[in-house]
């Protein structure tokens, strides 16, 4: 059986990932990455500052996978504010199996380059909301 193809993180995306990880933002920020199928490079698709997370659904395709890096302003009980850095791996139902395999096989290199510690899989883009992300973070403990 042949080994699945794996996309590499482009040098531009790698640089963007480093800058994104160390941002000093006090809001919800999102970096969306996609794979260019011709070059097999992982590239930045979109960067959105201060986005209401419930609006992120409008930024994601419903039939193609995406890597979504999130810096989330999260207020815990007793008023403590934390900024978790996590990834939502969007793999919608109905996307072509070969595309899903390409994104899944390439996920470890995105995780490594981004330095993200928490990855949550999202099967239906419409399910994404701030409440969904908060639930994922709370269940991660």
Per residue in 15-59, pLDDT tens? 999 999 988 878 889 999 999 999 999 999 999 998 888 999 999
How large is the angle between the packed helices 11-21 and 97-114, nearest 10 degrees? 50
Question: Domain residue spans in the chain?
Answer: 8-140
Q: What is the pLDDT of residue 113?
A: 96
The pLDDT tens digits for 69-79 are 999 888 887 88
| Alpha carbon distance 69, 104 (integer Å) | 15
Fold held by 8-140: Severin (3.40.20)
What is the reported pLDDT for 138? Answer: 87
Summarize pLDDT for 85-134 with one digit per residue, the tens: 999 999 999 999 999 999 999 999 999 999 999 999 999 999 999 999 99
């Amino acid at each position: 059986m042949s080994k699945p193809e794996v996309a590499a993180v482009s040098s531009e995306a790698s640089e963007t990932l480093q800058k994104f990880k160390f941002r000093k933002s006090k809001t919800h920020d999102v970096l969306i990455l996609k794979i260019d199928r011709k070059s097999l490079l992982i590239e930045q698709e979109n960067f959105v500052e201060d986005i209401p997370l419930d609006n992120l659904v409008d930024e994601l395709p419903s039939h193609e996978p995406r890597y979504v890096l999130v810096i989330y302003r999260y207020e815990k009980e007793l008023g403590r504010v934390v900024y978790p850095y996590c990834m939502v791996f969007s793999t919608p139902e109905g996307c072509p199996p070969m595309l899903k395999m390409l994104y899944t096989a390439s996920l470890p290199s995105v995780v490594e380059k981004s330095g993200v510690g928490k990855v949550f899989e999202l099967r239906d883009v419409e399910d994404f909301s701030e409440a969904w992300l908060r639930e994922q973070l709370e269940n991660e403990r």
